[in-house]
Structure 1
Amino acid sequence: MQTSLLSWILVSLSLSNLAQCSGPRFYPNDAIQRFVRAASAVVLEVSQVAAPVLTVSSKGGLEVTDGSSNASAVIVPSEQPVCQDILVRHDFIASYGQPYVGPYTPPSCSFNRVTWNLTVTSRGRQYDRLGTVSFGDIELFRTSTAEPTRNGIEWTYLKDMTNFLSLFTKSQTVIFDLGNLVTDVLDGTFNVTLTAAYFTADSVVQPADLIIPVSKRQGSQGQPSLFSVPSDIASNVLTLPRNIQKAVFTISSTGQADEEFWWSNVPQSRVNTYESTVGTLFGYSPFREVQLFIDGTLVGVAWPFPIIFTGGIVPSLWRPIVGIDTFDLKEDEIDITPWLPILCDGRSHNFTIGVSGLNDDGTGNAALSGRVGSTWLVTGKIFVWLDKAGHVTSGSAPLQLAPQPSFHVSSSISQTSAGVNDTLLYTVTAERTLSFTSTLLLSTGPRLASWNQRLAYLNKGNVTNQASLQTNDQQTTGQDLSSNGYARKFSYPLYVESSQIGNPDGFTLAADIRRSKSIDSLGRLVFPTGQETFSSDMAKSALSFDGTSAQTTQNGTAYYAANNTAGTGFSFGTTTQSFSLDGLHIAAGSLLKTTFPSITGSDELFSRNVKAVNGTIVADQETLLGKQFSTPVLPGIAEVNNDVHDFVLSGVPGRGKLVHHVQL
Structure 2
Amino acid sequence: MLAAVAAVANRGICGLQTHLPFLIAQPAPAQDNNFAAAPLLLLLLFFFFLRLLRLLLHPITLEPTQIIPLCRRSCHRRTDAADVAMMLLRLWYSALFLASSVRAASAAVGLAGFRDSIRSLGGETNAGVDADADADAAPAEPLRCFEVRSPVLTHLGLVIDDRTIEPDIPSYHHPFCHQTLMVHVFGNSYGQPFVADYKPPPGCPFRKVLIKLDVVSEGRQFDRLATMWLGDVEVWRTSTAEPKPRPGIAWTYWKDMSHYLALWMEPQKLIFDLGNLINERYTGHFNATLTAYFSAEGPVGPHARPANVVLPISARRSHEGKPSAFTYPDENAEARLTLPRNIQRAVVSISANGQAGEEFWWSNVPNEGADTFANVTLQTGGSFREVRLLIDGRLAGLSWPFPVIFTGGISPPLHRPMVGIDAFNLREQEIDVTPWLGLLADGFEHKFSLQVVGQGEKVVARYWIVSAKLFLWLSNGSRPSSGSMPKVRLVRDNYRPGVVSTANSQLLYNQTITRYLEVTSRVSRPSGTAELTWKQGMEMSNVGLVREMGNHQQVMASYRGEDKSTDDSVPIYYSSYKYPLATSYRSRSPDGPYSLTLDANLTQGQERVITGLAVFPTGLEAFSRALGQSQKRGIDLRTARNGRAFFYQRDGGKSSGGFGSMRQQFEFGGRYYDAQTPVFKPNPILFSREVAVVNETTTVDRIYLWNSTAQPESYESKPMPMADEDSFAGVPTHLAEGGVSSIASGDPLRSQAKALVRQRRGAANERHPDTA
TM-score normalised to structure 2 length: 0.74
Match of 1:454 among 537, 547, 551: 537
- Supply the AA of the counterpart residue of 1:183: N
1:506-549, Cα deviation, whole Å (9 max, x unpaired): 1211111111010011113311111112123x43246x202100
Match of 1:490 among 573, 577, 580: 577
1:556 paired residue number: 643
Contact 2:656 2:730 in 1 (8 A): no
Instruction: Give 5+ residue unaligned stretches, structure 2.
Output: 1-138, 733-739, 745-750, 768-772
Match of 1:65 among 159, 163, 169: 159
1:205-354 correspondence to structure 2 within 5 Å: 205-276=304-375, 279-354=376-451
The structural deviation recorded for 1:238 is: 1.4
1:618 aligns with 2:707: no
SS in 2 for 1:167: helix
Contact 1:586 1:597 in 2 (8 A): no
2:562 paired residue number: 479
1:378 paired residue number: 466
Mean alpha-carbon deviation: is it higher for 201-210 or for 578-587?
A: 201-210
The structural deviation recorded for 1:144 is: 0.4
The structural deviation recorded for 1:74 is: 4.9
The structural deviation recorded for 1:389 is: 3.4
* Separation of aligned partners in 2, 1:445 and 1:147: 53
1:585 aligns with 2:672: yes
Greater radius of gyration (CA):
2
The structural deviation recorded for 1:69 is: 3.6
CA gap of 1:577–1:598, structure 2 versus 1, over 3 A, is closer
Contact 1:244 1:393 in 2 (8 A): yes
* Separation of aligned partners in 2, 1:448 and 1:81: 43
* Separation of aligned partners in 2, 1:220 and 1:399: 38
CA gap of 1:394–1:611, structure 2 versus 1, over 3 A, is same
1:539 aligns with 2:633: no
> How many residues matched?
595
The structural deviation recorded for 1:403 is: 2.5
Match of 2:725 among 637, 640, 643: 643
Contact 2:377 2:741 in 1 (8 A): no
Greater helix content: 2
* Separation of aligned partners in 2, 1:602 and 1:462: 40
* Separation of aligned partners in 1, 2:671 and 2:152: 18
- Supply the AA of the counterpart residue of 1:92: F
CA gap of 1:601–1:493, structure 2 versus 1, over 3 A, is closer
1:101 paired residue number: 195
Contact 1:120 1:154 in 2 (8 A): yes
Match of 2:586 among 463, 476, 499: 499
1:526 paired residue number: 615
CA gap of 1:70–1:54, structure 2 versus 1, over 3 A, is closer
CA gap of 1:350–1:275, structure 2 versus 1, over 3 A, is farther
CA gap of 1:567–1:531, structure 2 versus 1, over 3 A, is closer
Percent of paired sites with the same residue: 37
CA gap of 1:295–1:182, structure 2 versus 1, over 3 A, is same
Contact 1:337 1:449 in 2 (8 A): yes
SS in 2 for 1:546: strand
CA gap of 1:504–1:354, structure 2 versus 1, over 3 A, is same
SS in 2 for 1:228: strand
Mean alpha-carbon deviation: is it higher for 553-562 or for 44-53?
A: 553-562
The structural deviation recorded for 1:305 is: 0.7
1:144-155 correspondence to structure 2 within 5 Å: 144-150=239-245, 151-155=247-251
1:275-315, Cα deviation, whole Å (9 max, x unpaired): 42xx3211111110111011111111011110111111110
TM-score normalised to structure 1 length: 0.86
- Supply the AA of the counterpart residue of 2:491: P
- Supply the AA of the counterpart residue of 2:691: V
1:194 paired residue number: 290
The structural deviation recorded for 1:566 is: 11
SS in 1 for 2:365: coil
The structural deviation recorded for 1:405 is: 2.9
SS in 2 for 1:206: coil
The structural deviation recorded for 1:242 is: 1.0
Match of 2:226 among 128, 131, 138: 131
- Supply the AA of the counterpart residue of 2:309: L
Greater strand content: 1
* Separation of aligned partners in 1, 2:603 and 2:714: 25
The structural deviation recorded for 1:406 is: 1.8
* Separation of aligned partners in 2, 1:344 and 1:566: 58
1:439 paired residue number: 522
* Separation of aligned partners in 2, 1:605 and 1:356: 38
The structural deviation recorded for 1:215 is: 0.3
2:99 paired residue number: none
- Supply the AA of the counterpart residue of 1:99: P
Contact 1:281 1:654 in 2 (8 A): no
2:454 paired residue number: 357
SS in 2 for 1:165: helix
SS in 1 for 2:752: coil
* Separation of aligned partners in 2, 1:240 and 1:314: 47
CA gap of 1:51–1:382, structure 2 versus 1, over 3 A, is same
* Separation of aligned partners in 1, 2:175 and 2:164: 28
* Separation of aligned partners in 1, 2:188 and 2:268: 25
The structural deviation recorded for 1:399 is: 2.5
1:607 paired residue number: 688
1:463 paired residue number: 546
SS in 1 for 2:227: strand
* Separation of aligned partners in 1, 2:617 and 2:453: 28
* Separation of aligned partners in 1, 2:673 and 2:616: 21
RMSD (Å), alpha carbons:
2.3
The structural deviation recorded for 1:654 is: 4.6
- Supply the AA of the counterpart residue of 1:614: N
* Separation of aligned partners in 1, 2:581 and 2:405: 11
Contact 1:313 1:652 in 2 (8 A): no
SS in 2 for 1:462: strand
1:509 aligns with 2:608: no
Mean alpha-carbon deviation: is it higher for 636-645 or for 317-326?
A: 636-645
* Separation of aligned partners in 2, 1:101 and 1:602: 44
CA gap of 1:600–1:307, structure 2 versus 1, over 3 A, is closer
The structural deviation recorded for 1:72 is: 5.6
* Separation of aligned partners in 1, 2:495 and 2:653: 49
Higher relative contact order (CA 8 A, sep 6+): 1
* Separation of aligned partners in 2, 1:470 and 1:463: 4
Contact 2:391 2:448 in 1 (8 A): yes
Contact 1:92 1:178 in 2 (8 A): yes
Contact 1:316 1:647 in 2 (8 A): no
The structural deviation recorded for 1:602 is: 1.0
Match of 1:180 among 272, 276, 280: 276
* Separation of aligned partners in 2, 1:189 and 1:577: 29
- Supply the AA of the counterpart residue of 1:548: I
- Supply the AA of the counterpart residue of 1:640: M
The structural deviation recorded for 1:115 is: 1.1
* Separation of aligned partners in 1, 2:328 and 2:443: 30
